[in-house]
Structure 1
């Protein structure tokens, strides 16, 4: 699933590879997907976009957005796989396909769920607006924003819930938070009210550092980029490392279900007994 490092990697690659390319034709889905959503009918996307040029791409939160020179936009959210390939090698099943004037094609597919939304700039979806209006972890004013949300959050909230729920930080999800919490030495179930001041400071710095590392390396190795290649950031806590030895202490990396998804952690480096402490008053 796309999170901020993958979104920014995808947008960089789009700007490098398809900017100024003209859209020859937009093809509707070849296979219906129950959990792929569109704005209006995808059969109408060709009328809106064919003949226009790609002016650029932007990324924010969990959304990547193509911008066209006729004023239209097309955004995808975290569940959409976007690939660039020769038009002659497009797979038989896709949820949308854009044929470009250089013989290549942008192919949109969805595995579990996702949205492909064509609009004129007035798209008012809650999650889209939350991502677009969010303060990037790379922005100068992010620390102040983060600290304000931390102080306003319930002390009984877990570290995972604080980072990855309620759209507090769009783009930080159940994937990126695993390495963030590991690097900070905080158990995913730990109540944020039990964190000492030095731990709170470390968590903020780790959020910014880990996301920066992931972005610089082209996203996580659990995800694919525009060309179908795995990201260069080697995850320390993920499905790829569950059951293996922790590179920091040699303990075994564990996987548990928590808050609607899996969490991966080292019980030696991220002590679970602290997760049950009473909040610091």
Structure 2
């Protein structure tokens, strides 16, 4: 799933590889995916994009967006994967293919679910609007947003619910959340009312440090970039790191279902109940 590190990395890669190139063709879904959503009929995307040039690629919140010189924008999120290809046969499950004038193409596929939305800049989707308005996690303005959200959150809200639900912090999802909470030594089910002032400050520090490391490394090793390469950040609390055990205490990593997804944590380093 696209979260802050991948959005930052992929938007930069797309800027480097596609800015200035002209769209020569747009192919609609080759094998329609039940959980891939579009803004209108994807068969009509070509009429709106063919002959236009990509001027920029942007990343914000939970979206990556391509900007075209005719005023159109194409944004995608969640489980949408984009690959830069050399013009070879596209994947059988390709949901959208954009051919460019240098012979390359952008192939979009979907894992689980995601959206590929073409619009004119006035797209009013709630998640898009919130992502546009959100302060990036590594910006100077983010700490103020974090403190404001803490003040507004109910005391019984858990650490996972606070960081990764209700779009309080677009770009921070269930994926990056795991290592953030591990770095802060906070259990996913810990209630905010149980956190000390130092723990709340430590959680903010963990958000910025972990996301910064993930971005610098080219994303997480559980996700791939536009070249099909996994990121260089080795996740600890994930399916990839589970077999190795906790790097801090050597104990086993626990996987559990919580709030609509899996959480990974060390029960020793991240106790569910604070010490008396």
TM-score range, shorter chain: over 0.9
Distance (whole Å) between structure 2 residues aligned to residue 243 and residue 16 of structure 1: 37
Map of 2:160 onto structure 1: 160
Distance (whole Å) between structure 2 residues aligned to residue 42 and residue 141 of structure 1: 37
- Secondary structure at the counterpart of residue 262 of structure 1: strand
Map of 2:218 onto structure 1: 218
Tell me the TM-score normalized by structure 1: 0.96
Give the paired residue count.
276
Please state how far the C-alpha of 1:141 moved relative to its aligned partner.
1.4
Tell me if structure 2 keeps the 8 A contact 1:187–1:271.
Answer: yes
Please state how far the C-alpha of 1:273 moved relative to its aligned partner.
2.8
- Secondary structure at the counterpart of residue 273 of structure 2: helix
- Runs (5+) with no aligned partner, structure 2: none
Query: Counterparts in 2 of 1:1-281, with a 5 A limit?
Result: 1-274=1-274
Distance (whole Å) between structure 1 residues aligned to residue 114 and residue 167 of structure 2: 17
Distance (whole Å) between structure 1 residues aligned to residue 60 and residue 78 of structure 2: 11
- Runs (5+) with no aligned partner, structure 1: none
Please state how far the C-alpha of 1:188 moved relative to its aligned partner.
0.5
Deviations 1:175-233 (A, max 9, x none): 00100000000001000111111111111111111111111111100001111100011
CA RMSD of aligned residues (A): 1.2
Distance (whole Å) between structure 2 residues aligned to residue 236 and residue 15 of structure 1: 30
Please state how far the C-alpha of 1:92 moved relative to its aligned partner.
2.7
Distance (whole Å) between structure 1 residues aligned to residue 243 and residue 161 of structure 2: 24
Distance (whole Å) between structure 2 residues aligned to residue 26 and residue 267 of structure 1: 50
Distance (whole Å) between structure 2 residues aligned to residue 239 and residue 61 of structure 1: 24
Tell me the TM-score normalized by structure 2: 0.98
- Secondary structure at the counterpart of residue 108 of structure 2: strand
Tell me if structure 2 keeps the 8 A contact 1:243–1:254.
Answer: no
Distance (whole Å) between structure 2 residues aligned to residue 81 and residue 268 of structure 1: 36
Deviations 1:85-137 (A, max 9, x none): 11124223310000111111100111211111001001000111111111111
Distance (whole Å) between structure 2 residues aligned to residue 176 and residue 16 of structure 1: 25
Tell me if structure 1 keeps the 8 A contact 2:63–2:75.
Answer: yes
Distance (whole Å) between structure 2 residues aligned to residue 120 and residue 41 of structure 1: 15
